[in-house]
Structure 1
Amino acid sequence: MTHFAIAGLQLALPRGDNLDRIAEEIRLVRRRFGWVDMVVLGELSCFGPATAHAQPLPGPAEDAFAAMAREHGLWLVNGSLFERDGDAIYNTTSVFAPDGSIAARHRKIYPFYPYEEGVTGGSEPTVFDVPGVGRFGLAICYDIWFPEVVRSLIWRGAEVILNPVMTNTIDRDVELSIVRAAAATNQAYVVSVNVAGDLGYGRSCVAGPGGEMIHEAGQGREVIAVDLDLDHVRRCRERGWHGLGQPLKSLRDGPQHFEAYDRGPAASPALRALGPLIQPASSRDGPAARDGAGTPAMTQKGGKP
């Protein structure tokens, strides 16, 4: 089987415990779209962006999602929730197989610093297999802004990138371009599911392996049910999209070694000169709002995860 149907749930959710609402939405999807194989939620759909809701994994929220996956016989990607591990808090996506077992957990590699305060970044790209279908990769929200993350997933064999998002800022339009570019340069499907309502601006999207936009949602509640053909990904990688470029083969076969990766980003004088990663101060505050290094002092404003 090479066809695999995914329903992205772009839900208009409030802050707080949304588990019962999510369970009902999944029941509606199963009733209406009986052919769907997987449901994907937006980032932090369960409780919103408050780290006060962090809990250990496994824990009660994962147990609730496992029960939903078992009840409906679906693959289920829970968006993410804040995971407490000792003194650290991670933004973690859990993937459940149709029997309710955990297929994968992914800790967001790049929290949205300097706004996603108090959250520790993960260290490992995460892929998982759907038996008989193909390999899937996970990139939570801001992870997709880093081509190194997506390329690492592709290096590990991913053919579909699942990108749960909570974007409530003006750069969602930019993210649509990033999703298309990630799909085209890596010849993969990218499924980017945002939240709506109080938590996000919607505009979830699905891009194909040529960078084509398969669907872009509006800003309110929407169920994005799509039927993906993984043989199409394999054909594009073998022959090029519509017989055009084969970038993964060129990357594989080229003799190039890139200094940015061989030596690491921290070795770049140009990147070091950018200064610390902190929130900008108001331009009205003047020099008093700047620290001794001449950079804006940290503020406590909120922002997207």
Structure 2
Amino acid sequence: MEPNVDSSYVAAVYEHAVIQTDDPRIPVSRSDALRNMQKNLDIYEVQAAKATKQGVQILVFPEDGIQGFNFSRLSIFNYLETIPDPQEESWNPCTEPGKYNNTEVLQRLSCMARHYNLYLVANMADLQPCPLKTDPSSSCPPDGHWQFNTNVVFSSDGLLVARYHKQNLYFEESFDKPPQPEIITFDTPFAGRFGLITCFDILFYKPTIELVEKGLLSFRVCIS
């Protein structure tokens, strides 16, 4: 059943000057990676507080705004978190922080959405296993896992409601192209259903035109 929608809603997009290490191609420890990302998340927190005071119902943060960009495949590794598929399970990282290890960024974003009572869209780096050993013919990378440029969406109570892997990469050696294009949507109580794309995706039929043909509003997350 479609949710009841208002005649109007308030959305905000934050343009962020990302804070990152001087040379992102040098690998760092998980603790150092978290310390770097928390600097950007601290700024996100301030902006979320401002947004909710202005009546914002959905807040969109930019591509690579949490960890930065220009990584190698190896150097981004400790910035990755394994993001569960919300189409397969229900998880609120803020209220269930112990369910998964190494999900500090997901927890921070979830609690941000919950505390400020708004839908929150952010971009981060996702680590997913792939069947290299069981299916050598698959598109699995030689190191045995996928690394995806990923949008996540949290509802106003902190529930993870959407996860989208960027399909059309733009000189992003740290990330993999998903094996199959994803058409990812999420519902809101104030504006109905939205679709997700990321930056360079906007130039391609999949997923952008498919979402338009479905009559969906789309949030485009891009570097700014």
TM-score in terms of structure 1 length: 0.50
**Secondary structure of 1:104 counterpart:** strand
1:116 aligned residue: 172
CA–CA separation in structure 2 for the residues paired with 1:6 and 1:106:
20
| Shift of residue 132, structure 1, vs aligned partner | 5.0
CA contact (8 A) 2:198 2:221 kept: yes
1:41 aligned residue: 61
- 2:49 paired residue among 19, 27, 33: 27
CA contact (8 A) 1:127 1:156 kept: no
* Larger relative helix fraction: 1
2:125 aligned residue: 82
1:68 aligns with 2:112: yes
**Secondary structure of 1:39 counterpart:** strand
Percent identical among aligned pairs is 26
1:55 aligns with 2:81: yes
1:146 aligns with 2:190: no
Q: Which ranges of structure 1 fall in alignment gaps of 5 or more residues?
A: 167-194, 196-305
The amino acid that maps onto 2:128 is: D
CA contact (8 A) 2:121 2:153 kept: yes
The amino acid that maps onto 1:44 is: D
1:6 aligned residue: 11
Q: Which has the higher contact order (CA 8 A, sep 6+)?
A: 2
The amino acid that maps onto 1:161 is: S
| Shift of residue 148, structure 1, vs aligned partner | 3.7
Bigger Rg, which one: 1
1:165 aligns with 2:208: no
What does the per-residue CA deviation read over 1:3-46, in whole Å, with 9 as the maximum and x for residues that have no partner?
A: 11101001222213111121122112223x1x211100000111
Aligned structure 1 segments of 4 or more residues deviating by more than 6 angstroms: none
Q: Which ranges of structure 2 fall in alignment gaps of 5 or more residues?
A: 1-5, 21-35, 85-102, 130-144
**Number of aligned residues:** 161
